[in-house]
Amino acid sequence: MKCPRCVQRVHRMARQCPHCGFGIGDVDKVFGEQDVRVGSLTDAAGVLRKSERAAVRRMLRRFQVRFPRLFFAIYFGTFKELPGPRQFGFWLLNRGAFDDVDVSRPNEGGVILCVDVGGKSAGITYGYALQPFLDEESTFRALSAAHPYLLQGQWPKASEVVVGKISRTLMKQSRRARRNPAKFDLRESEPEGANDVLERIRARHRDSQSSTQI
């Protein structure tokens, strides 16, 4: 995986980045260390109209239909002096319980687009299961294609462009993986019982009225 601060390669089991020292504790200090209940679309900045939210949710559902083990989430917020979208996405992948995503799609297979509506910038974070399929170049291309729409405040269009670019990359890489599966082997198994833990987290957030929301 890549460090969300310095973008250097880090082993996914490492507690801290060996290059800059960044760890989950750094963003826990800002956003909290408790699991949070969140949907695959979160408009914390309130920039989407009702019809736009519905359209974006349909797009995210189409992504899940196309990729049965993955999910895509989008967060619109304002970060100001807080850590940027990439670091927030890293935190959300570690702490987020996406209550509208089935447990068969663990966070390790998630892609998160975090949009800073104040700075009109964005970052993409993805789980370690997608490391053989996505890289810094592919996410940069997706964000670059969406950049003009971010500058204009066309949030649904920017989201559509990013999801489309990432989807095409995943489809292309999946075809390559079928031809050469050894090249795309993670060689690291998912911790036993990980899905059970994730289901408990998501179920607890669904049932609790006092759980943290963002």
pLDDT by 10s per residue, the chain, length 214: 566 655 556 555 556 666 665 565 666 676 777 888 999 999 999 999 999 999 999 999 999 999 999 999 999 999 876 678 888 888 888 888 999 999 889 999 999 999 999 999 999 999 988 988 999 899 999 999 999 999 999 999 999 999 999 999 999 999 988 888 877 764 444 444 444 444 544 454 444 433 333 4
Q: What is the DSSP string of 153-204?
A: T-HHHHHHHHHHHHHHHHHHHHHHHHH-GGGG---SPPPTTHHHHHHHHHHH
**d(C-alpha 156, C-alpha 200), whole Å:** 32
Q: What is the pLDDT of residue 197?
A: 40
Q: What is the pLDDT of residue 6?
A: 55
Compute the C-alpha angle 52/209/74, nearest 5°: 30
Judge contact between 105 and 126, C-beta under 8 A. no
pTM of the shown model: 0.80
Q: What is the pLDDT of residue 85?
A: 87
**Domains of the chain (ranges plus CATH)?**
24-202 (3.10.310.50)
Residue 19 DSSP symbol: T
Q: What is the pLDDT of residue 30?
A: 66
Q: What is the pLDDT of residue 87?
A: 87
**d(C-alpha 180, C-alpha 157), whole Å:** 34
Residue 85 belongs to what H/E stretch? helix 85-95
